[in-house]
């Protein structure tokens, strides 16, 4: 029996579903999850010592490749000085300054330990600042697992969302309005009718949790102008896109200054670290300065901050994102070309170090379109690539991630593997 299967079976006895986050269980694609023994650069090795080329990268954080010597050494050095103090450290000041330098929209920033905490806190802050309850999100955008965000669209326009998870009281989602991504008309109508009641609009400025979906320029513009006009807080949830799509993030690419930004994944370089920040007048509402409560025993953890600082330094090397973006675009194009050669309908897209491929004629523009892709074919392709030693996200609704350790040669090997896999699916 494979050691992966043995660990999965054993794990299921002690851990619900054998995993500590649901997508790891391979539920969407079937088969046995790979248990990672170690990882280095673009590769990881599973419990059977089989090598995989990794396009998940811990769902984004591993932008400089796994176990980068400079990141590992920064964590090791921090560790010998103590693991956690519950008192401020110099590193927290340094990383806050670094974040502010890279993102001019952030005047003040607070560190937390997960993206979920960052978005949950940003929303509480937006509500405290505006004195309004209503929040707007978009179908298919994921912002972590806090109650008010685990919501699916109501039955009609301007009907409030229903919980999308057990254990979430309808009372917790009754202030959450779920709109369609890229639907400018619906957004305008919503603001026309109830704009004065909206505390904030939160979105993935480039969506990566319903596969990769890019916003239209009109959608981006409408979001900024409507929120400004109606005194609602615009929250760019850049937990995934932050420092991945560009050094100045999605907001830099869009030329938009959001009121608040949430960060996670890359900012912690693989350690538990996330952040929310933005306009100083809004951030002044947070405790201890203001009345909106937010706290964390491990917030700004010295090991996480050390990993984050080392990673932020590496990604500021000249040409880092240009090379990453070029290789990622080559991969996306190569996948689509390989599909065409194999007679398989597929489209693809990429931004910076993030890519998507879709078993459909065109890249989707909304969650509804994303769900119309050929999921059965995705599953077959996923397993064919796994056989080729290429580890893609085990879900058709997740973006893929490339790191600086993915060389041109590795990208070409991946495209060749995809060509062989596609001829079998």
Ligand X SMILES: *Cc1c(COP(=O)(O)O)cnc(C)c1O
Q: Which residues bind ligand X (CB under 6 A)?
A: 114-116, 119, 142-144, 204, 208-209, 237, 239-240, 264, 274
Q: How many CB atoms lie within 10 A of CB 301?
A: 25
- Residue whose CB is less far from ligand X, 399 or 418: 399
Any catalytic annotation for residue 142?
yes
- Residue whose CB is less far from ligand X, 25 or 339: 25
Instruction: Name the minimum Å distance from CB 398 to ligand X.
Output: 9
- Residue whose CB is less far from ligand X, 33 or 334: 33
Instruction: Name the minimum Å distance from CB 345 to ligand X.
Output: 28
Let me know: does 94 contact 100? Beta carbons within 8 Å.
no
Q: Which of 46, 55, 265, 358 is catalytic?
A: 265
Taking CB atoms, the residue at the shortest distance from ligand X is: 115
Instruction: Name the minimum Å distance from CB 283 to ligand X.
Output: 19
**What is the rounded distance in angstroms from the CA atom of residue 285 to the CA atom of residue 422?**
53
- Residue whose CB is less far from ligand X, 274 or 310: 274
Question: DSSP 3-state helix, strand, coil percentages of the chain (rounded to 5)?
Answer: 40, 15, 40
Q: Which of 43, 142, 391, 397 is catalytic?
A: 142
- Residue whose CB is less far from ligand X, 95 or 346: 95
**What is the rounded distance in angstroms from the CA atom of residue 244 to the CA atom of residue 265?**
9
Q: What angle do CA 336, 246, 73 make, to 5 degrees?
A: 105
Residue carrying structure tokens 């981006």: 220
Q: Which of 237, 259, 367, 391 is catalytic?
A: 237
Residue carrying structure tokens 């660990």: 7
| 385 class by beta-carbon count within 10 Å (0-12 exposed, 13-18 middle, 19+ buried) | buried
Instruction: Name the minimum Å distance from CB 59 to ligand X.
Output: 6
Any catalytic annotation for residue 237?
yes
Tell me whether strands 274-278 and 354-358 are parallel, antiparallel or unpaired: unpaired
Instruction: Name the minimum Å distance from CB 305 to ligand X.
Output: 16
Tokens of 378: 């995705």
Any catalytic annotation for residue 133?
no
Q: Among all residues, which ones are annotated catalytic? A: 142, 237, 265
């Amino acid at each position: 029996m494979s050691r992966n299967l043995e660990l999965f079976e054993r794990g299921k006895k002690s851990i619900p579903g054998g995993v500590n986050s649901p997508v790891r269980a391979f539920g969407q694609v079937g088969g046995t999850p790979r248990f990672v023994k170690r990882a280095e650069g673009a590769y990881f090795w599973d419990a059977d010592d089989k090598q995989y080329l990794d396009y998940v990268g811990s769902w984004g954080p591993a932008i400089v490749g796994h176990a980068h010597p400079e990141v590992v050494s920064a964590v090791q050095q921090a560790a010998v000085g103590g693991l956690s103090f519950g008192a401020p450290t110099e590193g927290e000041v340094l990383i806050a300054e670094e974040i502010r330098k890279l993102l001019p929209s952030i005047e003040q920033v607070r560190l937390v330990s997960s993206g979920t905490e960052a978005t949950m806190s940003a929303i509480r802050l937006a509500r405290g600042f505006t004195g309004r309850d209503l929040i707007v999100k978009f179908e298919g955008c994921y912002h972590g697992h806090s109650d008010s965000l685990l919501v699916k669209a109501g039955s009609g326009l301007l009907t409030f969302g229903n919980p999308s998870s057990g254990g979430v009281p309808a009372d917790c989602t009754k202030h959450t309005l779920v709109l369609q991504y890229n639907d400018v008309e619906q957004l305008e109508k919503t603001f026309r009718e109830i704009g004065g009641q909206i505390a904030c609009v939160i979105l993935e400025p480039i969506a990566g949790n319903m596969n990769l979906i890019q916003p239209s320029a009109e959608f981006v513009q409408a979001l900024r102008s409507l929120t400004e006009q109606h005194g609602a807080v615009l929250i760019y949830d850049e937990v995934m896109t932050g420092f991945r799509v560009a050094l100045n993030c999605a907001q830099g690419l869009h030329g938009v200054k959001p009121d608040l930004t949430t960060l996670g994944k890359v900012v912690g370089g693989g350690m538990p670290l996330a952040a929310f920040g933005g306009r100083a007048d809004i951030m002044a509402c947070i405790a201890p300065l203001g009345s909106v409560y937010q706290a964390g025993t491990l917030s700004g953890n010295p090991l996480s901050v050390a990993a984050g600082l080392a990673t932020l330094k590496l990604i500021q090397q000249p040409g880092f994102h240009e090379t990453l973006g070029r290789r990622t675009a080559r991969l996306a194009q190569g996948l689509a070309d390989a599909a065409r050669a194999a007679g398989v309908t597929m489209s693809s897209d990429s931004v910076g170090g993030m890519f998507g491929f879709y078993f459909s004629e065109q890249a989707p523009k909304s969650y509804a379109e994303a769900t119309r892709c050929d999921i059965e074919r995705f599953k077959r392709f996923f397993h064919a690539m796994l056989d080729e030693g290429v580890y893609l996200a085990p879900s058709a609704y997740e973006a893929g991630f490339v790191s600086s350790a993915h060389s041109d040669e590795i990208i070409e090997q991946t495209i060749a593997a995809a060509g062989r896999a596609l001829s079998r699916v």
